[in-house]
A and B are shown apart, each in its own frame.
Chain A
C-alpha cells in the first residue's frame, strides 16, 4: 500500500511558512555582492585603490572637456614652425611630443582607452568565466570534461606572444585588442571559479536544498553564486589589471590602435623616436598613471585574496 507523500513538510523555495525556508531560500546574489564589496572596503590598502580608481574614472569621463587640444593636433610656434619637444609651458602644461602634439591632451585621452579596455574586459571575462565555471563545476559530466580539455590547451598558449600574433593578424584596433584579451583571460577565471563551485556544492545546505526540491537554477542563483562571489570579484579585479597591462604592452610594442591614443602608445613613440632621456615630460605622466592604475587594482585584488583564504585572515 502506498501513501501519497504529504506536501506540507517539504519546504519548497516558494513556501514562506516555518523556519526551514530561510535556509532553503539562500541569499540574493545582489546582497552577497554588496557584502563582499563592504568587506573589501574595510581593508585600508583596498580603500586607497578604490579612491585612485574613482579619480581615474572621473578623469576618463571628463577627458574631452579637460583636454586643452585635440590629441593629434600639431602645435605651431609663432614663427609658424612645428613646436617639437617643448618642455612644460603655460600653453602646454605637460610639454609637447616629438611630433608637436600636446602631451596633457594625449595623457587625458589615455584614461579613456585604459579604462574602456579594463571595463569591457571585466564584463566579458567576468561573464564568460562565471558562466563556464559555474556550469562545469555544478553539473560536472560532459560539460566539465570538455571545458577542462579546452582550458588545458588554452593554458599552454603563451599569453603575450599569442596577443602579439593575433593582434598583428587581425589588425591593430581597440576592438581586436579587447577580443584577444577576452580570449586569453577567461580560461584561468573559469578554472578558479569552477573549483570554488566544486567545494560549495558539496556543502550540506546545498544537499538539503536539493532534497527539498529546489531547482538547479534556484540553487545556483541563491546558494552557489552568492558564496563564490569573492572568488569572482578577485578574478574580475585581476583580469582588469591584466587587460590594461596587455593593452599597454601591445601598444608599447607598436601594435596599438592608431586611431586612439593610449599610454602604451605614448611611451612607444617616445621610446622609438629616441627621446626617452630628454623629454621626461613626455615619459613620466603615462608611466606614473599606468603604475597607479594597475597597483590600485592589485591592492583591491589583495583584499579579496585575504578574504577568500581564511588561513590568511588575522587571528
Chain B
C-alpha cells in the first residue's frame, strides 16, 4: 500500500512537470509574441531591456525554461502584466470563489442525481418512469452550460427579477470570510449554483441508474428480497453498492468542473479562476493565464490521485500493486 502511494505520488509529480513544460513551450513558441504586447512603442533600448529582464524574458529559450521551473518550485508564478502585481495575489482569492460554486454544485448535483437515478434504475424495465427518466436525463445532459446559464439569467434575473445575475454582490463593510455568510452573497450565489447543479445532475443520474440496473439482478438482492424486506429498503441495498463508481467519479468531476465552470462564471460574471483565465487570455496577460492554467492542471492531478486512493479504501476488492 505504501509503495503504491509513493509510486502514484512520483507519477503525479512527473505529470505536473510534463504539463508545466508543455504549457511553457506552448506560450513561448506560438506565433503570438508575448514581448510584443508588453513593450509599448517608443521605449528606449535600456528601458526595454530592463522590462524584459523584469518579466524573465531574456536569454535563450532554455535559460528561460530553467529559470521558470526554478521560480515555480519556489512558488513564484511571476507578475501579471495587467494588474502589475504578483500572479498569486490575483489568483488566490479567486480559487475560493470558484470553489464556492463548484463544490456545493457538484455535491448537490450528485446527491439529487443519485436519488432520481436510483428511482429510475429500480423502475420496471421498459416502463414509463424508466423511459422518460432516461430520455429527459440524456436530453438535459445535451444542453450546453452557457445555454443553461442564459436561460436562468433571462427568466429569473432579467424577467422575474428574483435573483441578481451579475457578480458576487457588494462586500460592503464585511471583510474576510464574513462576506460569504451574508444574505446578499447567498442571493448572488443562487443562480450560478443552480446552473452547476443542472449541468451535473443528468450525468450522475445516468451513472447511478446504470449501477442500480447492474446490481438489481445480483444474488444478494435476491437474498434481501427473500428475507421479506420492503421494496424501498431493497432498492437502498442496490443503491449503496452502486455509489462506488459515483464516488470515484466525483473527484475527477470536481477537477473538470473547476475547468468547465469557466463558461458559467462568464455568464454570471462570477469572479473565479476560469473567468480570470479567459480575461487574461483576451488581455494577453500571459503570466496570469499560464498560472491559472497550471493551477487547474494541478487540481486535476490531485483529484485523480485522491480518487485512486479513496477507491481502494471503499472497495475491498481493489488490490494495490
Contacts from A to B (Cβ < 8 Å): 45, 152-153, 155-162, 164-166, 168-171, 241, 245, 248-249, 252-254, 264, 267, 271, 276-277, 280, 283, 287, 290-291, 293-299, 302, 309, 311-312, 314-315
Contact = CB atoms under 8 A, between A and B. Distances in A.
Given A156-B301, A267-B146, A314 B125 contact: yes
Contacts of B150: 267, 271, 276, 283, 287
B248 interface: no
Interface string B127-167: 00000001100110111111100110110001100000000
Interface residues of B, number: 59
Interface stretch (B109-117, B168-176, B182-190, B273-281): B273-281
Given A283-B154, A287-B150, A156 B297 contact: yes
Nearest to A299: B138
B30 A291 contact: no
A166 to B, nearest CB: 7
Dominant secondary structure at the A interface: helix
13 contacts: A156-B301, A158-B300, A160-B259, A160-B262, A162-B293, A165-B277, A166-B26, A171-B32, A249-B146, A253-B263, A277-B154, A291-B143, A295-B143
* 10 A-B pairs closest in CB distance: A295-B142, A158-B259, A294-B142, A169-B30, A277-B158, A158-B296, A295-B139, A168-B281, A153-B18, A311-B214
B253 interface: no
Q: Which of B142, B159, B289 has the most CB of A within 10 A?
A: B142
Which residue of B15, B154, B266, B281 has the most chain A CB atoms within 10 A of its CB atom? B281
B292 interface: yes
Given A159-B256, A252-B263, A312-B214, A164 B296 contact: no
A295 B300 contact: no
Contact of A153 (B22, B143, B259, B292): B22
B217 interface: yes
B11 A152 contact: yes
A293 B144 CA distance: 11
Contacts of A245: 144
Contacts of A171: 31-32
Given A254-B282, A271-B267, A276-B158, A152 B146 contact: no
Contacts of A253: 262-263, 266, 278
Interface string B275-312: 00110011000000100110011011100100000000
B210 A309 contact: yes
A293 B154 CA distance: 22
Nearest to B296: A158
Given A45-B134, A152-B15, A248 B277 contact: no
